[in-house]
Structure 1
Amino acid sequence: MARQRGNRWQADVVLDGKRERKSFASEAEALAYERAVASGKPLPGAITFHQFHREHFSYLWGDIKAPQAVQFNLDALDKLIPPETPIPDISSSYIIGLVNKMKASGSSNATINRRLSTLSRLLRHAEAMEMMHRPRIAYLKETEGRERVLSRDEEARAILFFEHMGLLEAKALFNFLLYTGCRLGETFTLPKDRVRDGRVTFHYTVTKTSKTRIIPLVGPAATAWADISKLHRGHERPFGGYPRDTFRNHWNRLRDHLAPGDDEFVPHMLRHTCASRLVSKGIPLPQVMLWMGHKNIQTTMRYSHLAPKDLDMAALALMEA
């Protein structure tokens, strides 16, 4: 007999000698499912993948720092999963098919894994609601991280491109990311009162590591902040007045101009470039760690090869001792 569980209704049936519980949006759907099983008729369709993630998005991701990134992954999955696909139909073999489609489209392993992570959380929730048995998801092997850095020549050409095309917001965001090393998501939530006295504060509520960091606002970054503040004078969060989708479009135009076909030419490489330049100029790794807001020194150590003179200086110190 169907019974209510929270705001949904659960049907309790026996299929092929095994007891099964499935969840439905209404009592009528649950009862119809039970009657269909008892009579041997074709089973009514379960809630679809698209319906399920729309209904449960707020519950699963409403309080995270960057829900837009999750929505971007779900939008990508919606293009691969037909809208009429019931959530229980997403099996391990079905997911392997999704991975093959994403590989064929040119998606990187890192991109595929982010989408699989979003899918996994959604299916874990469906399992908790007793709608399905969660399938096994095998993640793909990723490289240690992007190694792409921006050369000084590419930086100059990018600035010229943005100026020539009249993309002043893109130019400001480009320089701010490059000369602060901050994450893209940290810029869009940065309010005016956290930039003062030549420093910028990235509050723990918006950082990936949940720790506040304060860094100097230097040169092009200071100019970029002044420019975006003028362009969005009435906006409490100046970069927030520049839609992410618009920036993504502007960035793709820049990539097509400077580095067509280079899938590592992404905004995050500006953060990687900032860290690389700090280390190559001899800034000690613990200070780079603080500037970048890395959670641990192991993350910063990936840049250590850019400071080859460190061991030479250590050898010299031994000789002088």
Structure 2
Amino acid sequence: MGLHKRDNSSNWYYAFQVKNKKYVGSTGTANKTKALQVEREMRNKIHSETFLGEAEEVSLRDAVLRYLEPRKQFSYYRGMESISRKMFGSKRDSKSKKDYPCYGLPTNLLLHEIQTKHVERLVAKRRAEGDKPATIKHEIGLIRSTLREMQKLGYKTARDVVFPQLKTSYRLRYLDSNDEAALLRELDPKIIRSGLKSVEERTPEMQRNVQDNYDLVIMLLDTGCRYSEAANIPWSCIDLEAGTLSIYRSKVNNEDVLYMTNRLREVMTRRFAERLPDARYVFENKVGKARGYAAQAIKKAMDRAGLNDENVVRDKGGKVTMHTLRHSYASKLVKNGISLFEVSVLLGHSDSKMTQRYAHLAPNDASRKAVSLIDSLQADSLVNR
């Protein structure tokens, strides 16, 4: 109990118990003095709510900001921050980066005052604005997650909000062996193409970036990790002798030990041999910190490989993104007979229902039996002619 640090974060985390209930969370700071102050304040809030029946009021907007603050270090933060702006009436154009008004919830709406009608109106307005169910689902999910976390932290919250069930239907995009080969060709550290100098002409930093992009994609393809889990992994989580890596999944707050493929083990062995003496992370930025979200070069390689050509996107059901590499790992396993339960464990899903999206890829034994039967019937028909 008290303050502690995690391998994947420079911030201090608090952990304490009140009436046999455990409270754990980020203090949002790497300064221990400030972290101690945050922990004391959190203890006081929980104590007040538990023993005195008091709960601090907070607006929905401030609550969302407090929910996002300790998540700044994660790759999904920018997307969530964009969703929060939109929630309160400001959309940002992805190309021009300009903000323009849209429907938003009142900025002075208190967290405990939010009602089902506020959520329903937000959903109705987003549909009228042309948002797809999957997009609306992210916004509603942020409200729900904020309510849940603020309740744990002792703030006064609404407890009877009914959230709508939004049905989303889309085809699952994943890379087949040809797609994967095309992407790795575009990321090959030795490749010579327009806009990229030859290996001899590159600076050490430039070559490191090119190599990092290739190696990171290998890790994503061969482990099914989320981008943030792979990009921010420290060397202390890599065991080359055993051929394993320990993954802390911050999104679902669980840990896994995964075995490396031969290909990934070769990558890690090379990187370990070439690392700087004081390197803490497997993938570092230019100042020696964890790489963080830096995927632009990989996304451009996806485009160059033709994975997002208009006809390909239409035929295969969607664009290739960084998360597609995770889908590709899962699809490869399911297609080759690994059970959905085992895939769920390997992906670190908090709910096995999430793995059902891959169910249609499982080998279809019924279809094989049907083909065998029809072939047999057709053969008998030919013999009896």
**Equivalent residue for 1:78, pick from 64, 74, 85:** 85
Rounded Cα–Cα distance in structure 2 between residues aligned with 1:69 and 1:110:
16
> Residue 270 of structure 1: CA displacement?
1.7
Partner of 1:87: 109
Matched-pair identity in %: 18
- How many Å apart are 1:197 and its aligned residue? 2.4
Which one-letter code corresponds to 1:259 in the other structure? N
Q: Is the 8 A contact 1:109 1:141 kept in 2?
A: yes
Q: CA deviation at 1:259?
A: 0.6
Distance (whole Å) between structure 2 residues aligned to residue 140 and residue 162 of structure 1: 38
Give the secondary structure class of the aligned counterpart of 2:258.
Answer: strand
Letter of the 1:152 partner, please give it.
S
Please tell me whether the aligned partners of residues 66 and 185 of structure 1 are also in contact (alpha carbons under 8 angstroms).
Answer: no
Partner residue in 2 for 1:115: 139
Please give the residue correspondences for 1:1-321 in structure 2 after superposition, counting only pairs within 5 Å: 49-54=60-65, 56-57=66-67, 62=70, 69=76, 72-82=79-89, 85-88=107-110, 92-96=116-120, 98-99=122-123, 109-123=133-147, 125=150, 129-130=155-156, 135-143=161-169, 147-163=172-188, 164=193, 167-193=210-236, 194-197=238-241, 199-203=243-247, 208=252, 210-219=254-263, 221-226=264-269, 233=276, 234-239=278-283, 241=285, 243-247=291-295, 249-257=296-304, 258-260=307-309, 262=313, 263-282=318-337, 291-293=346-348, 299=355, 302-303=358-359, 305-308=361-364
Query: What displacement does 1:141 show?
Result: 1.3
- C-alpha spacing 1:66/1:198, structure 2 compared with 1 (3 Å): same
Q: Per-residue CA shift, 1:94-133, capped at 9, x if unaligned?
A: 5445445655777653443233222123346389744778
Deviation at 1:281, TM superposition (A): 3.9
Measure, in 2, the Cα distance between the counterparts of 1:296 and 1:188. 24
Unaligned runs of 5+ in 1: 1-5, 8-20, 25-46, 317-321
**CA shift in 2, pair 1:102/1:23, >3 Å:** same
Q: What is the CA distance between 1:295 and its match in structure 2? A: 6.6
SS at match of 2:293: helix
Structure 2 unmatched ranges of 5 or more = 1-43, 46-53, 91-105, 197-209, 373-385
Worse-superposed segment, 128-137 or 274-283: 128-137
**Is the CA contact 1:177–1:271 (under 8 Å) kept in the aligned structure 2?**
yes
Q: Give the drift of 1:285.
A: 6.3
The structure-2 alpha-carbon separation of the partners of 1:110 and 1:92, relative to structure 1 and needing over 3 Å to count, comes to: same
The change in CA–CA distance for 1:229 and 1:121 in structure 2 (over 3 A counts) is: same
Using a 3 Å threshold, how does the CA distance of structure 1 residues 269 and 196 change in structure 2: closer, same or farther?
A: same
The aligned counterpart of 1:13 is: none
How many pairs align?
A: 268
User: Could you say what secondary structure the match of 1:246 adopts?
Assistant: coil
Distance 1:86 1:159, change over 3 A: same
Matched to 1:117, the amino acid is G
Calculate the TM-score normalised by the size of structure 1: 0.61
SS at match of 1:202: strand
Q: Structure 1 residues 79, 209: closer, same or farther in 2, change over 3 A?
A: closer
1:213, 1:275 → 2: CA distance?
A: 17
State TM-score, norm by structure 2. 0.52
Asked if the contact 2:243–2:260 (Cα under 8 Å) also holds between the matched residues in 1, the reply is yes
Distance, in Å, in 2 between the alignment partners of 1:306 and 1:201 is: 27
CA distance in 2, matches of 1:252, 1:105: 28
Cα deviation 1:47-103 (Å, max 9, x = unaligned) = 65443433x338xx85x8986536642432214414882133865455445445655
Cα distance, 1:79–1:224 mapped onto 2, change above 3 Å: farther
Is 1:23–1:131's contact at 8 Å kept on the other side of the alignment?
A: no
What SS is found at the alignment partner of 1:148? coil
What letter corresponds to residue 154 of structure 1 in structure 2? D
> 1:271 deviation in Å?
2.3
Q: Is the 8 A contact 2:246 2:258 kept in 1?
A: yes
Q: SS where residue 245 of structure 1 aligns?
A: coil
Instruction: Tell whether the 8 Å contact from 1:113 to 1:140 is kept in structure 2 after alignment.
Output: yes
